[in-house]
Amino acid sequence: MAPSGLRRANDPPLLILVSLADGPKHGHALAKDIEDFAGVKLGPGTLYGAITRLVERGLIEPLGGDDRRRPYRITPPGSAALAAALADLRRVTSAGLARLGLDPA
Amino acid sequence: MKPAGLLRWYPRAWRERYGEELLALIQDTLDEGRPTWRLRLGVAWGGLRERAHQAGRAVRAAVKRGAGPDLWAMMLVAGTIVAQLPENLSESPPPARGWQAVAAFDAVLAAVALTGAVVLAGGLVALPALVRFLRTGGWPKIRRRVGWAAGATVAAGGGLAGLALAGGSRSPAQLDASWAYLAGFLATGLVVAVAIGRWAIAAEATARHLTLDPRLRTAQLMLVAVTPATVTVVLVALNLWWSVTQSPAWLVAVPVFLGSASVSAWLRIRRAARKGRRLRAAARTGR
């Protein structure tokens, strides 16, 4: 089981961590990026609910600057939690693909 | 509704920290358009979830502070009352044990009076500081919380009046068989609990603005610590009364109440004494 409650591929906190893995982003940039790479459209309420929980758990942190479009970045514990969650997902994905006979390996 | 109005769904502390960011995101998402119903519902749901999250955190903090036994005892007594009302009011004690029921009931009244006196004393101690606070323009700082508490009190009064009207012409047995009465009773109990909670929040918020002399502050801390003990006396006496009028099985609850309340009261009084000593020491150092 992945730590920090990151369980499903479409969990908003997991999607936010993935989006921040390549650099800091503010709310609107996060929503656009997540829609681009995952096809999931997060509403403002859902996005900021997830951001609040991630900040509380120390997995992401705000950067200084514009108060209205404050960027966030992933923290080292956030990177570790994301890596663990993705490893879990990869294990499940590999098992599923292998059982379907679709695993290239 | 303007986007800014959507923030009302969120707790104040959250709005202060994230409100402007959320508004910016909504504006970026809308791109000059008006918020759709889907977006409004999403934001409202997010706000309610945030309020629920904060409430959960407050309960966890209360349990951590040592309020657990009190909460547990309150829940137990609420369940007891719901299970027993209204038929217990129609029961008479056996003639040989009538004096025990009278003594227990008198103890309930005495403990209620003592609790009221303690709460009143706590209020009187803080009254001069409250008057100073209000005279120096403090009312706007507490108006919203007092308004919520007053509104909840009016709702609770309405609920109690409705119960009295609904139950006035029916016997306890008829009331006991009525699901509608039970639902009304539970709903009213909930509203009464909310009203008490809102007054507690308003009082706590007001107290944060008051400047009290360290000795008065210590006295108030001790009064606050003693109050749960008097409430426990009420619970114990009620159980004794029920044990006489209903069944001796109610005596089982007495040691439970006494045990949980003794631990809680001891911890509260010790914490109050320690805090009082710190306050007085800080005041001496300041002088």
Between CA B72 and CA B257 the distance in angstroms is 9
* Token code pair at residue B176: 């006991």
Higher confidence at residue A6 or residue B122? Answer: B122
CB pairs A-B closer than 8 Å: 57
pLDDT at B240 over 60: yes
- B46/A26 touch (CB, cutoff 8 Å), yes or no: no
Q: Output the pLDDT for position B1.
A: 53
Structure tokens at B40: 């409004």
**Does any CB of chain B come closer than 8 Å to the CB of residue A12?**
no
Of B21, B29, B38, the CB nearest to A68: B21
For residue B278, the model assigns a pLDDT of 81
Options 3.40.630.30, 3.40.1180.10, 3.40.190.10, 1.10.10.10; CATH for A9-99 is 1.10.10.10
Helices B179-209 and B139-168 cross at an angle (nearest 10°) of 160
User: How many helices and strands (H and E) does chain A possess?
Assistant: 4, 2
Q: Are B82 and B187 in contact (CB under 8 A)?
A: no
Element (H, E) at A52: helix A44-56
Give the pLDDT confidence of B87-101 residue by residue, as tens digits. Answer: 555 556 566 666 776
DSSP state of B1: -
pLDDT at B236 over 60: yes
Interface of B with A in 103-162 (CB under 8 A): none
Neighbours of B186 (CB within 10 A): 12
Mean predicted confidence (pLDDT) in B231-251 = 75
Task: Please state, for a pLDDT cut of 90, what percent of chain B lies above it.
Answer: 5
With an 8 Å Cβ cutoff, are A43 and B24 in contact?
Answer: no
Interchain pair B25, A70: CB under 8 A: no
Radius of gyration of chain B (CA): 24
Find chain B residues with C-beta within 8 A of A42's C-beta.
Answer: none
User: Alpha carbon A103 to chain centroid distance?
Assistant: 25
pLDDT-based confidence at B117, cuts 50/70/90?
confident
Closest CA of chain A from B206, distance in Å: 28
Among B10, B28, B31, most A C-beta atoms within 10 A, so best to mutate, is: B28
Task: Please list the residues that pair with A62 across neighbouring strands.
Answer: A72
Which H or E run contains A55? helix A44-56
Rounded Cα gap, residues B30 and B53, in angstroms = 28
Q: Where are the domains of chain B?
A: 99-135+213-280, 137-211
What are the pLDDT digits (tens) for B150-197? 999 999 999 989 888 887 777 777 777 788 888 888 899 889 888 888
- Residue A92: per-residue pLDDT: 87
Query: B47 to chain A: which residues are within 8 Å by CB?
Result: 45
Q: Which of B218, B229, B227 is nearest to B126 (CA)?
A: B218
Contact A43 B14 (CB under 8 A): no
Taking alpha carbons only, the member of B262, B270, B219, B287 closest to residue B73 is B262
Q: Which residues in chain A have Cβ-Cβ distances shorter than 8 Å to B42?
A: 43-46
Q: Give the C-alpha distances (Å, rounded to integers) separating B12 from A7, B40, B47.
A: 30, 18, 10
Interface test with A, best of B6, B10, B21 (most A CBs within 10 A): B21
> Which tens digits make up the pLDDT trace of B29-53?
877 677 788 888 888 899 988 988 8
pTM: 0.48
pLDDT, residue A1, reads 45
Question: In 3D, which of A22, A21, A69, A52 has the Cα closest to residue B24?
Answer: A69
Shortest Cα distance, chain B CAs vs residue A20, angstroms: 17
- Tell me whether residues A28 and B25 touch, CB distance under 8 A: yes
Region of B234 (left: φ > 0; alpha: ψ -120 to 50; beta: rest) is alpha
* Residue B57 pLDDT > 70: yes
pLDDT at B242 over 80: no
Residues 47-66 of B with CB under 8 A from A: 47, 49-50
Both tokens assigned to A55: 């900040």
Q: Does A14 touch chain B (CB under 8 A)?
A: no
Is residue B114 over pLDDT 50? yes
pLDDT of amino acid B203: 81
Helix, strand, coil percent values for chain B (each to nearest 5): 90, 0, 10
User: Most B CBs within 10 Å: which of A26, A35, A40, A48, as the mutation test of the B interface?
Assistant: A48
Please spell the DSSP secondary structure of B93-107, one letter per residue. --GGGHHHHHHHHHH
Q: Which of A28, A46, A48 sits opposite B18 (nearest CB)?
A: A48
Q: Side-chain half-sphere of B79: how many Cα atoms within 13 Å?
A: 7
Stretches in chain A below the pLDDT threshold 50: 1-3
Q: What is the pLDDT of residue B86?
A: 46
Per the DSSP assignment, residues forming a β-bridge with A72 are: A25, A62
Query: What distance in Å separates residue B63's CA from the closest CA in chain A?
Result: 20
Chain A: give the shortest CA distance to residue B203, in Å.
Answer: 28
- Give the C-alpha separation, B177 to B172, whole Å: 9
